[in-house]
Amino acid sequence: MFNDVAPTLTIEPISAPIRNQSEIEGVIKSMAAQSHGALVVAGDNLVSDPPVRRLIIGLAATYRLPALYGKLSFAQDGGLISYGVDRIDQFKRAASYVDRILKGERPSDLPVQQPTKFQFVINLKTAKALGLELPLTLQMTADEVIQ
């Protein structure tokens, strides 16, 4: 989907999948070398591992690379911006499914649900360290602003 929208925003996405931790610095370094480069980190199992998450946040800071993360914990740990699924809402919705199953409904009869609640977190301390001034209107749309 991002690849479809990017041209309308005059953005050229560069896909750089990583398979293991040893590839991370090279990818971040190459993104930082791009004119007006930035990083979008999807939230998968590899990057969710706390030591890997800290490595990515640290390298993005070292190379002064603005980054958007798909998991909320990144901004809470020092990343610039995160936008991701509200896990608490997901757990609450899962609890209602458990309740329905315990009351006799068959799991195969329950509809698959997509996430409906997302959270947007901005870390202003990181923005300042990167020399970025984020518009007040953007800050006002955030669910959480970390000072």
Here the tokens at position 147 are 């000072």
Phi, psi of 63 (to 5 degrees): -90, 5
Provide the pLDDT confidence category of residue 105 given band limits of 50, 70 and 90: very high
- State the CB neighbour count (10 A cutoff) for residue 135: 8
* Fold of the domain built from segment(s) 2-86+117-146: Rossmann fold (3.40.50)
Residue 1 has pLDDT above 70, yes or no: no
Give Cβ neighbours of residue 2 (< 8 Å, ≥ 6 apart): 13, 40
Confidence of residue 3 (pLDDT cuts 50, 70, 90): low
Q: How confident is the model at residue 19 (pLDDT cuts 50, 70, 90)?
A: confident
Cα–Cα distance measured from residue 7 to residue 4, given in angstroms and rounded to the nearest whole number: 7
pLDDT for 99: 94
Examine the pLDDT at 11 and tell me if it is beyond 80: no
pLDDT, average across residues 111-126: 93
At 21 the pLDDT is 85
**Rounded Cα–Cα distance for residues 41 and 47 (Å):** 8
Spatial distance between the Cα atoms of 118 and 4, rounded to a whole number of angstroms: 22
For the chain, which residues make up each domain, given as ranges?
Answer: 2-86+117-146
pLDDT in tens, 41-80: 886 777 788 888 999 999 999 999 999 998 888 999 999 9
